[in-house]
Amino acid sequence: MDPREVKVFVKLGEECAEIQQELAKTLLHGPYSYNPLEPMRGTNRQRLEKELGDLMYWLDEAVKAGLVDEHMIRHWEFDKRQRIASGAREKAPPQGGGV
Ligand SMILES: [Mg+2]
């Protein structure tokens, strides 16, 4: 894996961690709360939206770099919708073809 690919995966992980932080703050203090020491950084909801945007950027970079397959992501997105709609438990991913 070349350094650029490593960077994309590291950034994806960082953004996921930042989303977790913003979710925790939102759940603890509410979506419209903000840090009074940093009011210009926005409400918890705005900060969560910013981090979700960051994640989408790095996900797109991962697709462009060929690190993940957009069609498979869409497949699993559709599958998730189906499973939630049906109330079924999650199923295992297909065997073989691992990266
Ligand atoms: Mg971020």
Domain ranges of the chain: 3-86
The predicted pLDDT at position 97 comes to 55
Measured between alpha carbons, how far apart are the two ends of the chain, in Å? 11
Query: Got the DSSP string for the chain?
Result: --HHHHHHHHHHHHHHHHHHHHHHHHHHH-TT---TT-GGG--HHHHHHHHHHHHHHHHHHHHHTTSS-HHHHHHHHHHHHHHHHHTPPP-PPPSS---
Position 94 confidence tier, pLDDT thresholds 50, 70, 90:
low
- CA 15 / ligand 1 centre spacing (Å): 5
- CA 56 / ligand 1 centre spacing (Å): 10
- CA 19 / ligand 1 centre spacing (Å): 8
Contacts of 82 (CB under 8 A, 6+ apart): 88
Q: What is the pLDDT of residues 47-90, one digit of tens each?
A: 999 999 999 999 999 999 999 999 999 999 999 999 999 998 76
CATH code: domain 3-86 is 1.10.287
Q: What is the pLDDT of residues 33-48, one digit of tens each?
A: 999 999 999 999 999 9
